[in-house]
């Protein structure tokens, strides 16, 4: 891919050198310009569809209506409670998942027999879409905040566990051999070789888990809740307040993008720690 | 690993027969025992075995070890419920509805996602235009759109088809895009040097080398589509396996809930496994990025 891009850019550079000032500006910012034009065109089409009464605003709302609803929700303060509830569910479930999955993943990766014992359960849970367990979780924990925390936990724990586990498993073989030859204790090997090599994998797991956790919050609240952003979306949908539905969806989208972006950065930070499997000296 | 295996071999040559058998099949043996222990423990919780056993020792505290089957069900109750559902034929309608939703939605997402992904990978400017939409929607859990979809198309089969479509579309489209973009640059350069047309390049170089990526996209799409089916049917439906799970949950038929969950898990595993096999067959077509000549 690298080659492909470089070649494209080289061609572009040649084009740019010969072009007029205006064209140069366009070519240099082509990506941004085309992208923002597309987004603008999308919003204009959407707005005009309801403005010119082509479609009932009940069905698709419109950007201005959505903006107004968003402003109202934040200004009148109704939304803060929902945000707080969803945020609490997300954070508690996610942290609990990390607290369980990372130590367990390290242990399962390090002790072969523990893996043999727990492997079937991890595989089984991984195969089940965890949201299908919602009706049972509701029976166990009610429709309050705890059922959502459990769903978030179950959603997030598996990717974290599997990534931590595979992190331990991809430890550089040569390091282990050298450490053992020089008589390092198993404990020392674990903390100085295995664990640092696992860190990037843990962050990858955390990244995937954030998506699953967000899904858990939304689905849990859609299904049965008393407050939260997902609940806001359901109630608004059931009462045909399409503008409010869009506000809720936008909040979730922003959260999703923000988290992916943030965790991508963190993941990148630790990328050098990743063991290079099968690399030459 | 190799060293460990050699050590194992040395140990084994001297070991008596039962030990040798255990060491050779350690993984299967430990796994089976763990699963059996789990199932017996579960069954015992609802049947009150542990209460009877530990009652004299623990006294009133053992009360906790006896759990109402409404909460947990039990392996035998689940097996019975599963047998009943299939034998009496109640489940076939649900399976058929969920299956239809899945296949129509999934096929739609392939039909739309693959060409769109290929086009976005091939035409730079088209990619610039669709990129913001792809990224934004890909970061949103698509199930949040459910209430909207229900307003648009009702609680029938089409809202589920749409949610399956939306779920599977993004992994498929994004992988198709990545497939085109990871084409071996040297092949492209050679083809261009020998004056082949863009159409020719696309058909003979780009398309074959993106096949493995397409298969990866399909495999990821299956998982998303399953989530879409379940959530869509949990939320609002009139039939389907997810609908059965909801109704059973709302009426405290926990055994039926577990049957539904297992059906979904097994369907997901079978399809993912099939696609993984297919993926492995085509893996040799994957371009080796940065490989030496």
Whole-number pLDDT of residue A3: 42
Whole-number pLDDT of residue B94: 92
- Residue B73 placed within a domain: no
pTM of the model: 0.85
Instruction: Work out the minimum CA distance from A207 to partner chain B, whole angstroms.
Output: 12
Query: Looking at the 3D structure of chain B, how many domains does it have?
Result: 2
B135 and A134: CB-CB below 8 Å?
no
- Residue A89 placed within a domain: yes
Average pLDDT, chain A: 86
B252 and A58: CB-CB below 8 Å?
no
B interface mutation test: which of A57, A61, A114, A135 has the most B CBs within 10 A? A135
Chain segment B179-232, per-residue pLDDT in tens: 888 888 888 888 889 988 888 888 888 888 888 889 989 999 998 899 899 899
Averaged pLDDT for residues A194-203: 87
Question: Both B39 and B120 in a single domain?
Answer: no
Question: Both A156 and A209 in a single domain?
Answer: yes
Question: Both B124 and B53 in a single domain?
Answer: no
B interface mutation test: which of A42, A43, A60, A127 has the most B CBs within 10 A? A127
B181 and A1: CB-CB below 8 Å?
yes
A276 falls in which pLDDT band (50, 70, 90)?
A: low
Torsion of CA B242, B248, B249, B255, to 10 degrees: -100
Average pLDDT, chain B: 86
**Where in the sequence is the domain holding B216, given as residue range(s)?**
83-285
Q: Of B177 and A281, which is predicted with more confidence?
A: B177
- Residue B77 placed within a domain: no
Has residue A2 got a pLDDT over 50? no
Question: Both A83 and A28 in a single domain?
Answer: no
Chain B residue whose CA is closest to A125: B265
- Residue A279 placed within a domain: no
State CA B97 to chain mean position distance: 19
Question: Both A116 and A246 in a single domain?
Answer: yes
Say if CB A104 and CB A114 are below 8 A apart: no
A15 falls in which pLDDT band (50, 70, 90)?
A: low
Whole-number pLDDT of residue A257: 86
The interface pTM score, or ipTM, of the predicted complex is 0.82
- Restricting to B residues 74-103, those with a Cβ less than 8 Å away from any Cβ of A are none
Between chain A and chain B, the number of residue pairs with CB atoms below 8 A apart is 169
Instruction: Work out the minimum CA distance from A87 to partner chain B, whole angstroms.
Output: 16
Whole-number pLDDT of residue A148: 93
Listed in sequence order, the residues at least 6 apart from B254 whose beta carbon sits closer than 8 Å to its beta carbon are A136, A139, B69, B70, B71, B72, B73, B248
**Where in the sequence is the domain holding A16, given as residue range(s)?**
2-55
Chain segment B230-272, per-residue pLDDT in tens: 899 988 888 899 999 999 988 989 999 999 999 999 998 899 8
- Residue A281 placed within a domain: no
Q: Which residues on chain B are in Cβ contact (under 8 Å) with A246?
A: 148
Question: Both B93 and B55 in a single domain?
Answer: no
Query: Looking at the 3D structure of chain A, how many domains does it have?
Result: 2
Question: Both A45 and A179 in a single domain?
Answer: no
Question: Both B42 and B102 in a single domain?
Answer: no
- Residue A64 placed within a domain: no
Question: Both A150 and A82 in a single domain?
Answer: yes
Query: For B141, which of A135, A215, A240 is closest by C-beta distance?
Result: A215
Alpha-helix residue ranges (DSSP H) falling in A224-273: 229-238, 242-269
Chain segment A243-254, per-residue pLDDT in tens: 999 999 999 989
Question: Both A212 and A115 in a single domain?
Answer: yes
- Kindly list the distances between the CA atom of residue A83 and the CA atoms of A65, A91, A129, A251, B281, in Å, as whole numbers in the listed order: 21, 12, 26, 9, 47
Highest mean pLDDT pick, A171-185, B37-51, B84-98: B84-98
Has residue A281 got a pLDDT over 60? no
- Residue B72 placed within a domain: no
- Residue B74 placed within a domain: no
Q: How far apart are CA A236 and CA A245, in angstroms?
A: 6
B132 and A116: CB-CB below 8 Å?
no
Instruction: Work out the minimum CA distance from B235 to partner chain A, whole angstroms.
Output: 6
Has residue A18 got a pLDDT over 70? no
Indicate the residue among B67, B99, B124 that finishes a domain: B67
Question: Both A143 and A204 in a single domain?
Answer: yes
Question: Both B143 and B23 in a single domain?
Answer: no
- Residue B291 placed within a domain: no
B128 and A34: CB-CB below 8 Å?
yes
Question: Both A110 and A170 in a single domain?
Answer: yes
Averaged pLDDT for residues B70-75: 85
- Residue A278 placed within a domain: no
Chain segment A81-133, per-residue pLDDT in tens: 999 999 999 999 999 999 999 999 999 998 888 999 998 899 888 888 888 89
Whole-number pLDDT of residue B4: 53
Instruction: Work out the minimum CA distance from A264 to partner chain B, whole angstroms.
Output: 13
Question: Both B36 and B127 in a single domain?
Answer: no
Question: Both B94 and B60 in a single domain?
Answer: no
Whole-number pLDDT of residue A176: 85
CB-based contact, B186 to chain A, within 8 Å: yes
- Residue A60 placed within a domain: no
Question: Both B196 and B276 in a single domain?
Answer: yes
A30 and B128: CB-CB below 8 Å?
yes
Whole-number pLDDT of residue B7: 56
Task: Of B159, B266, B142, B274, give the one whose Cα is nearest residue B218.
Answer: B274
- Residue A61 placed within a domain: no
Whose tokens are 């460990």? That residue is: B4
Question: Both B13 and B158 in a single domain?
Answer: no
Whole-number pLDDT of residue B10: 62
């Amino acid at each position: 891919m690298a080659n492909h891009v470089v070649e494209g850019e080289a061609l572009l550079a040649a084009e740019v050198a010969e072009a007029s000032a205006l064209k140069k500006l366009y070519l240099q910012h082509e990506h941004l310009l085309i992208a923002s034009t597309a987004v603008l065109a999308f919003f204009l089409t959407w707005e005009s569809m309801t403005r010119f009464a082509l479609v009932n605003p009940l069905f698709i709302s419109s950007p201005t209506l959505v903006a107004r609803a968003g402003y109202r929700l934040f200004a009148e303060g109704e939304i803060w409670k929902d945000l707080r509830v969803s945020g609490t569910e997300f954070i508690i479930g996610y942290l609990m998942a990390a607290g369980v999955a990372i130590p367990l993943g390290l242990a399962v990766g390090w002790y072969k027999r523990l893996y043999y014992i727990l492997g079937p359960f991890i595989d089984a849970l991984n195969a089940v879409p965890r949201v299908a367990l919602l009706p049972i979780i509701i029976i166990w924990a009610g429709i309050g905040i705890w059922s959502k925390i459990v769903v978030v936990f179950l959603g997030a724990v598996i990717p974290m566990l599997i990534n931590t586990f595979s992190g331990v498993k991809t430890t550089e073989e040569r390091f282990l051999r050298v450490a053992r030859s020089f008589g390092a204790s198993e404990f020392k090997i674990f903390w100085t070789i295995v664990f640092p090599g696992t860190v990037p994998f843990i962050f990858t797991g955390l990244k995937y888990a954030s998506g699953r956790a967000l899904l858990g919050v939304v689905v849990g609240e859609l299904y049965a809740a008393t407050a939260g952003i997902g609940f806001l979306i359901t109630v608004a949908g059931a009462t045909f307040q399409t503008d409010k539905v869009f506000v809720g969806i936008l909040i979730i989208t922003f959260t999703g993008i923000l988290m992916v972006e943030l965790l991508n950065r963190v993941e990148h930070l630790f990328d050098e720690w990743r063991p290079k499997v099968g690399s030459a000296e | 690993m190799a060293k460990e295996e050699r050590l194992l071999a040395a140990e084994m040559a001297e070991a008596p027969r039962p030990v040798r058998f255990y060491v050779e099949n350690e993984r299967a043996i430990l796994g089976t025992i763990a699963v059996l222990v789990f199932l017996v423990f579960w069954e015992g919780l609802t049947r009150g075995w542990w209460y009877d056993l530990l009652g004299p020792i623990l006294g009133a505290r053992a009360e906790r070890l006896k759990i109402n089957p409404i909460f947990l069900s039990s392996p035998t109750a689940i097996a019975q419920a599963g047998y009943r559902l299939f034998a009496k034929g109640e489940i076939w309608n649900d399976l058929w509805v969920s299956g239809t939703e899945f296949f129509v939605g999934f096929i739609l997402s392939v039909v739309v996602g693959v060409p769109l992904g290929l086009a976005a990978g091939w035409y730079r400017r088209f990619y610039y235009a669709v990129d913001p939409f792809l990224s934004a929607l890909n970061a949103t859990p698509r199930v949040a759109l459910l209430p909207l979809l229900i307003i648009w198309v009702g609680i029938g089969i089409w809202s589920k088809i749409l949610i399956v479509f939306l779920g599977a579309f993004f992994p498929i489209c994004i992988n198709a895009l990545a497939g085109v973009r990871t084409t071996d640059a040297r092949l492209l350069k050679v083809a261009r040097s020998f004056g082949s047309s863009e159409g020719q390049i696309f058909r003979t170089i780009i398309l074959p080398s993106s096949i493995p990526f397409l298969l990866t996209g399909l495999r990821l799409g299956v998982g998303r589509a399953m989530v879409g089916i379940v959530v869509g049917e949990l939320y609002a439906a009139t039939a389907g396996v997810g609908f059965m799970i909801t109704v059973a949950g709302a009426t405290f038929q926990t055994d039926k809930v577990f049957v539904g969950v297992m059906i979904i898990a097994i369907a997901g595993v079978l399809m993912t496994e099939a696609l993984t096999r297919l993926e492995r067959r085509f893996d040799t077509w994957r371009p080796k990025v940065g490989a030496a000549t």
